[in-house]
Chains A and B, each alone.
Chain A
Amino acid sequence: MIKVENLVKTFGAKRAVDDISFNIERGEVLGFLGPNGAGKSTTMRIITGYYPPTAGRVTVGGFDIVENPIEAKRLMGYLPENAPGYADMTVHGFLSFAAEIRGLYGDARKKAVHKAVETCSLEGVLYQTIDTLSKGFKHRTCLAQSIVHDPDILVLDEPTDGLDPNQKHEARSLIKRMGEKKAIIFSTHILEEVEQACTRVIIIDRGKIVANGTPQELKSRSKEGRLDDVFRSITLPDTVLA
């Protein structure tokens, strides 16, 4: 569903993303791991069509994100980092707006909003404005926005950031459940999350892919079979240097 080929993105002299290639198919949940500043968010912004790539190609459901951005964007739902939302809108107004932009009207729109609200447990804050929400609710509102049109592809940038342990658990099982029918890519710092929700893991460091495999494969690289040992051994030298 998502095909990334030799993707490069430079900001001035800095190569934020340096020749990355990978594929995601339907039924896969890809965990995108890496230290801060490794290029995770930049990669996701290119996939969703926010940043144009410096070089390389991204196709989403067969549509090139640069040449056919509208068709490609229709297939995707996106939760940006920090879960932004229009501060003065109510949760309901915001989700209705997202549904309308996605081409849903009338009853179809009502149903879609209702379903997204139910999936993300937002019933209690439906008519509250977004600036009055706690971080957890704000995050779930933005997540609801990304699934309101039931897209085939989900791009989630740190979907569990700012949630409490219970909410984190719920979010993970939601991602796992949705992953059975969709293609999902999500970024995180939390390694246990990857083990629980992902079918595949990519570790990225300083713009390059340093590991790509199932959580089991990666774990087997460490003596104790622990993912964070693998993560540290791959990415730590750079962190120390930086």
Chain B
Amino acid sequence: MNSWAIIKAISKRELGGYFTSPVAYVFLVIFLLLTGFFTFTVGNFFERGEASLVSFFTWHPWLYLFLVPAAGMRLWSEERRIGTLELLLTMPVTTWQAIVGKFLASWIFLLLALALTFPVWITVNWLGSPDNGIIITGYVGSALLAGAYLAISCMTSAMTRNQVISFIVSVMICLFLILAGFTPVTDLLVRWANPVVVQTIASFSVMTHFEAFQRGVIDVRDVIFFVSLIGFALFTTGVVIRGHRAG
């Protein structure tokens, strides 16, 4: 029995879990309403007079800040609370397979939500002629950003049985990852600290790496940043889960 078959079985179950409860539908509707609201009303999509999705993607780090932890908070805390974690980990499954399987399922769910924003892309193509290459890299960046936040939510979810605590802690960590490279904050920091220090802190921020994708650039370093952030958070998840079992 190979690893992928197990990961697939776990992912399938997890993804099914979103759709058999109202969670998926509430999440999708709110996500789409909010992206629409921010893009067209707050982001002045029409007044900008340019054929681009800048006003769409700009809001993603802030939207995800609340929505991704909401989608990820139950991943492990729920399993621990109702006791199915014991069931799952006494089946012939490694901790890794369980972590990857559950993470992939939630990521696929978030990607589905992202894919359902396609009317925005159609609109901008219908009204003008945007650079679709930039839009594609924008989507790639957004997908990676969602994955990074989700991995952090996985980690905080493994730490507690309480979903509220899991949610708040992961929002805080994600907020830090935004603010460390958010221009108003870095501008403020430069007044007190050495610019090199500020830049180093900013390089840990998701904003710095996310913005490059919005300019149409897929830089290997940015991809590596997100992938290693995901890897680190999932690795920590594994350590936390093993820690619970060791007692």
Contacts and interface: CB of A to CB of B under 8 A. Distances in A.
Nearest to B14: A86
Nearest to A41: B86
B32 interface: no
B112 interface: no
A51 B247 contact: yes
A145 B12 CA distance: 18
A50 B92 contact: no
Contacts of B5: 100, 103
Interface residues of A, number: 36
A101 to B, nearest CB: 5
Q: Chain B contact residues (Cβ within 8 angstroms of A): what range? A: 20 to 34
A51 B87 contact: no
Which of B9, B21, B245 neighbours the largest number of chain A CB atoms within 10 Å of its CB?
B9
Contact of A84 (B12, B86, B91, B246): B86
Interface in B70-128: 82-84, 86-87, 89-94
A80 B87 contact: yes
Contact of B86 (A50, A86, A89): A50
A93 B13 CA distance: 9
A84 B87 contact: yes
Nearest to B1: A103
A101 B6 contact: yes
Contacts of A70: 92-94
B129 interface: no
A52 B87 contact: no
Nearest to B89: A50
B194 to A, nearest CB: 45
B84 A74 contact: no
A11 B90 contact: no
Nearest to A87: B82
Of all A-B residue pairs in the complex, the 8 with the closest CB atoms, nearest first, are: A84-B83, A48-B90, A103-B1, A73-B92, A100-B9, A11-B247, A88-B20, A74-B92
